[in-house]
Structure 1
Amino acid sequence: MARIKTKDLILEVALLLFNERGERLVTSVDLANEMNISPGNLYYHFKGKEEIVEELYARFHTSLVLVIDNMSSVEQITAKSLLSYLSLVADIFTQYRFITQDLRGLGAHYPNVEPQVTKAFSRLHRQIQALVEQLPSREATASIENSARLLTDNLINTLLHADVREVFAPSEPSEAVESPIDMHDRLLLQLLPFLPPQDASDNAA
């Protein structure tokens, strides 16, 4: 079995610690200590924490753009296919939650990342809105002005900030991360007006 490269292991450990503690609370020395290596060994692979954050963001960006590109090739959009797409995006957001939970802070602290963040999330918003506008059976929202944009805003906010339990029950760290089931249900609830009754029942089951 091939051994994982030290550089990749550093990124794995950094992602774990950043997600658990928050990127700003983790130093390069913390990473070295967690891996039981010298800071010099870590600096051999990365000049500092900034390079580690930038590399992790690059991986996040690549994963997100791949999902966006794949969805762009889908010819017929239904609420069910949109829900599946949003679930894939949610998986990426959860994997790199230290990024998605503090987009503004990340951009402010890492100037090289900021333009990529703006570009990626602008593209994501445009695509989701375009998909929402293609959904059939929009009678339920036809009377609401700018309904497609508003729904898109709500869906992205759900993907980014769905875990309200962390606000109301911060003493329960075991519930701090949104579970896949909870996220699916939160997204499903917003798409119910566009789902045929049978599909809505199947997705809720």
Structure 2
Amino acid sequence: MSDLLSSFSANSIQADQSFARRATDNKPQTVTEMTPAQQQKASMNVSILESAAVIIGVKDEPLSLVLNSAIERINEYLAPELGENAIQKGVDSGLDVSPEATAERIASLSTSFYAAFKEQHPGEDEATVLTSFIETISSGIEKGFGEARDILEGLDVLEGGIASDIDQTFELVQEKLAAFEAMILDMNEFTESEEMLDA
């Protein structure tokens, strides 16, 4: 798609330059010599194509939008504790965007920061820190899903299979977060039991 945009942009600029040469007695003009109106037209043409590319991409893979939106919101919510862009947003174009795979990525990316979050709360009870962490990432996930739904609704593509895929993805994320929380609590209980036996 970026090749298409680059090609269109170059063709648009060449066409504008060609028009400008004819209008100025065949004096060659460079891109920087284009009139403000010509520059604005070329810029608008590129913007229109970029918008179309986004809409086409969203319609083709709406769960990719959900994943990106959730990651952005999780990053936002974790930023005060762990700094900017705690979760990297690099998503490959060939990525599996099924509800199961998307839910797994959202849950695993967000829960992978539990140890760093816990380090920011030394001396606090494990259950309290875990609850705070789950609430923090859950808020980001809910906001991300909400934004993705709003975008898809605005594009008139939130219907049928897309809506049910998003609902299924959200439910799977919630299940994975609950499983993560239970696992951490079980590990904590096991560690406490071992410490009592060793004492």
Which one has more relative contact order, counting CA pairs under 8 Å at least 6 apart? Answer: 2
**Shared fold, TM over 0.5:** no
Instruction: Indicate the structure (1 or 2) with the bigger Cα radius of gyration.
Output: 2
**TM-score, structure 1 as length reference:** 0.31
